[in-house]
């Protein structure tokens, strides 16, 4: 099964209509079809996924909070709408999971941090309002690295999420819970957030699709801020059509986020034509570096060959400032984080230390007891980079190098329509392998970080497995606000391969 072969999307149609169908394995569009033909009710869909969570989440540990009752209530409401016979919005009755960094009214939103452990937001993020307006079913909140800072979900203050493909390996991060939940069929699809690769890298590690939209494509209102000039919310899904459906649901201008772009949102599903003839795929030499895992490199080249067989052309492009991306990122992102996380002072919400002697002690001890080691390290680094005497040497310097990284992409996109790279230089690693050395963990984000610095859209799709059975991801990077093209190319590749149909051995 683990090899490239031609198959058509209609092939699975018959199988899910049979009685043996496992509802939890269905994609969003397959669930939509079943609801439309009344082959399944929303309650049946949601109950089957909740049952699977009960059975398997003890192993995977994807969820921080489950909202079973609310989910079944919402499914019942959708079934009543179905009974009336009115046309339903696209996400009606679809069971989704939400990364625990996105505010959900009345449902705990912890950022996997002790400092926000009991926090129940009094409002919904804009993306949540949009999902609710489409009658989607929210199953619960998913685990992550504390405040989205990490690449393995090991920085969660609560517990470690496991990779469904190999339970002694990390699911990637920071959106590891969302990625693992989708891969293990513990939801139909999920939302995550991506500041330096936090959607694409876990999607790659868990063998599913994950899209970071262009900066400004999706409203950040209600996304707990990490690095405001880099953060973006995006979908995790079992296939590209589902990515397109979810992106369409959450994208668009929001008066509550002044950085959300006032641009029309294309109908992404209709751009999935399967035709990539003449699409120019740029391959940056600078990304095929020493230290890349040979199995990852081989899988990515095979994927590029597949795209060429489908009629795309290969162009050589250059991103010469790639070696400076991680250094730039860890100044820009930590500087913004140190400022954003200043709000956790133990006054209006979140954790407060017991019996502080005075106000200063209340701040210092609440933050000391509430934040984990990686968050403290980044607050310290960011505060240092912004402090008097170091601002020009670090923060301003990094912002200037950010300009150079952006220009690299502008030049590259004069010669191509899409850039193809590995998502991560290595397959998933084992727990504890990189926790002792923060810099080693940072270096694993080499291929995803530049995309955030340049504000571009990027998607990771499954493109193979190692001999040990660990997933490998292909990253496709697009021009600003051109999610349609990367989705089209990803979809054509997916139609020509079977990777996305493989299921972890749970």
Partner 1 sequence: MKITLKEVEHVARLARLELTTGEKERMRAQIDSILSYIDKLNELDTSAVEPTSHVLPMTNVFREDEVMPSLSQEEVLVNAPDRHELFFRVPRILEE
Q: How far apart are CA 207 and CA 461, in angstroms?
A: 7
Q: How far apart are CA 413 and CA 7, in angstroms?
A: 31
Alpha helices by DSSP H, 86-239 = 126-133, 176-183, 200-206
Q: How far apart are CA 206 and CA 433, in angstroms?
A: 18
What tokens appear for 172 in the block? 């990637």
Residue 347 in contact with residue 366, Cβ under 8 Å? no
Burial 219-256 (b: 16+ CB within 10 A, else e): bbbbbbbbbebbbbbbbbbbbbbbbbbbbbbbbbebee
Residue 325, classified by CB atoms within 10 Å of its CB into exposed (0-12), middle (13-18) or buried (19+), is buried
Listed residue (97, 186, 184) closest to 144, CA to CA: 97
- Least separation in angstroms between residue 283's CB and partner 1 is 23
Torsion of CA 449, 453, 457, 460, to 10 degrees: 0
CA distances from 329 to 202, 229, 396, 443 (A): 19, 11, 12, 11
In the complex with partner 1, which residue's Cβ is closer, 287 or 409?
A: 409
Place of tokens 């080691």: 373
In the complex with partner 1, which residue's Cβ is closer, 338 or 497?
A: 338
- Least separation in angstroms between residue 86's CB and partner 1 is 28
Q: How far apart are CA 272 and CA 306, in angstroms?
A: 17
Q: What residues have CB less than 8 Å from 385, skipping those under 6 apart? A: 331, 334, 335, 338, 391, 394, 395, 398
Place of tokens 């919005």: 89
Catalytic residue numbers, as ranges: 99, 174, 198
- Least separation in angstroms between residue 282's CB and partner 1 is 19
Q: How far apart are CA 128 and CA 213, in angstroms?
A: 17
Place of tokens 């079944």: 72
Q: How far apart are CA 31 and CA 9, in angstroms?
A: 14
Q: How far apart are CA 403 and CA 443, in angstroms?
A: 21
Task: List residues near partner 1 by CB under 8 A.
Answer: 118-120, 122-123, 215-216, 229, 255, 258-259, 261, 321, 323-324, 326-328, 330-331, 338, 342, 345-352, 356-365, 367-368, 371, 376-377, 379-381, 383-384, 387, 394, 396-404, 406, 438-439, 442, 453-455, 480
């Amino acid at each position: 099964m683990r090899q490239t072969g031609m198959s058509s999307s209609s092939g699975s149609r018959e199988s899910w209509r049979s009685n043996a169908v496992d509802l939890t394995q269905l994609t969003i569009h397959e669930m939509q079809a079943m609801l439309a033909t009344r082959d399944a009710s929303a309650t049946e869909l949601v109950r089957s996924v909740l049952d699977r969570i009960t059975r398997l989440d003890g192993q995977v540990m994807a969820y921080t909070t489950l909202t079973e009752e609310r989910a079944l209530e919402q499914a019942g409401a959708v079934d009543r709408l179905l009974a009336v016979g009115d046309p339903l919005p696209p996400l009606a009755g679809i069971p989704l999971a939400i990364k625990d960094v996105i505010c959900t009214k009345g449902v705990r939103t912890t950022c996997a941090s002790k400092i926000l452990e009991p926090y129940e937001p009094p409002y919904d993020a804009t993306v949540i309002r949009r999902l609710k307006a489409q009658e989607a079913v929210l199953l619960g909140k998913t685990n992550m690295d504390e405040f989205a800072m990490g690449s393995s979900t090991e920085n969660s203050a609560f517990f470690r999420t496991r990779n469904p493909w190999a339970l002694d390996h990390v699911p990637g991060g920071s959106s590891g819970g969302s990625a693992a939940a989708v891969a293990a069929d513990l939801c139909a699809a999920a939302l995550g957030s991506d500041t330096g690769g936090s959607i694409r890298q876990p999607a790659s590690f868990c063998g599913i699709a994950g899209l970071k939209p262009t900066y400004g494509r999706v409203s950040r209102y209600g996304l707990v801020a990490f690095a405001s000039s880099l953060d973006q919310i995006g979908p995790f899904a079992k296939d590209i059509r589902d990515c397109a459906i979810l992106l369409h649901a959450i994208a668009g201008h929001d008066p509550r986020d002044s950085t959300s772009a006032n641009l029309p949102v294309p109908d992404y599903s209709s751009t999935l034509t399967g035709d990539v003839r003449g699409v120019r795929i740029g391959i940056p030499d600078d990304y095929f570096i020493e230290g890349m895992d040979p199995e990852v490199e081989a899988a990515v080249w095979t994927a590029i060959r597949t795209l060429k067989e489908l009629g795309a052309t290969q162009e050589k492009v250059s991103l010469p400032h790639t070696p400076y991306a991680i250094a730039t990122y860890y100044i820009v992102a930590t500087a913004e984080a140190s400022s954003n996380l200043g709000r956790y002072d133990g006054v209006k919400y979140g954790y407060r230390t017991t019996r502080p002697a005075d106000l200063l002690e209340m701040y210092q001890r609440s933050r000391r007891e509430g934040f984990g080691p990686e968050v403290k390290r980044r607050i310290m680094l960011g505060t240092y980079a912004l402090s008097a005497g170091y601002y020009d040497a670090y923060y301003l310097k990094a912002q200037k190098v950010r300009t150079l990284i952006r220009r690299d992409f502008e030049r590259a996109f004069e010669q191509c329509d899409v850039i193809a790279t590995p998502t991560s230089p290595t397959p998933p690693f084992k727990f504890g392998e990189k926790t002792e050395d923060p810099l080693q963990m940072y270096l694993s984000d080499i291929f995803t970080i530049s995309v955030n610095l340049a504000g571009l859209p990027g998607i990771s799709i499954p493109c193979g497995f190692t001999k040990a059975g660990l997933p490998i991801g292909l990253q496709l990077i697009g021009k600003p606000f051109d999610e349609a093209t990367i989705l089209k190319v990803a979809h054509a590749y997916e139609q020509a391969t079977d990777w996305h149909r493989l299921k972890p051995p749970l």
